[in-house]
């Protein structure tokens, strides 16, 4: 195998600042910001917009809304109802 072909895989902390949820995982992304984890080690922090703790699908707050009657138009177009 060629040397230095693939990026290095490092442990990083993914932080969702909207709800304060964080988890430790491996990633090739880098960050200058660091944070101490529960094991006492310091890892780079990658900030994410949404996580399983804040996404409506995983929190059970997702609403299914038929905007503009799309389902009705589909059913009418293909004579399903």
Over residues 18-32, mean pLDDT: 92
Q: Which tens digits make up the pLDDT trace of 34-69?
A: 999 999 999 999 998 888 777 667 667 766 666 667
Domain map (residue ranges) of the chain: 10-77
The predicted pLDDT at position 64 comes to: 66
Q: Tell me the mean pLDDT in the region 26-40.
A: 93
CA distance between the termini of the chain? 60
What is the rounded distance in angstroms from the CA atom of residue 54 to the CA atom of residue 5?
36
Mean pLDDT of 3-32: 91
pTM of the complete model = 0.66
9 has pLDDT over 80: yes
């Amino acid at each position: 195998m060629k040397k230095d072909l693939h990026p290095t895989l490092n442990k990083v902390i993914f932080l969702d600042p909207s709800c304060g949820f964080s988890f430790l995982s491996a990633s090739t992304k880098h960050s200058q910001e660091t944070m101490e984890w529960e094991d006492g080690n310091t890892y780079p922090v990658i900030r994410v917009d949404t996580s399983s703790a804040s996404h409506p699908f995983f929190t059970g707050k997702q609403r299914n809304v038929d905007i503009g009657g799309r389902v009705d138009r589909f059913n009418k177009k293909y004579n399903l109802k």
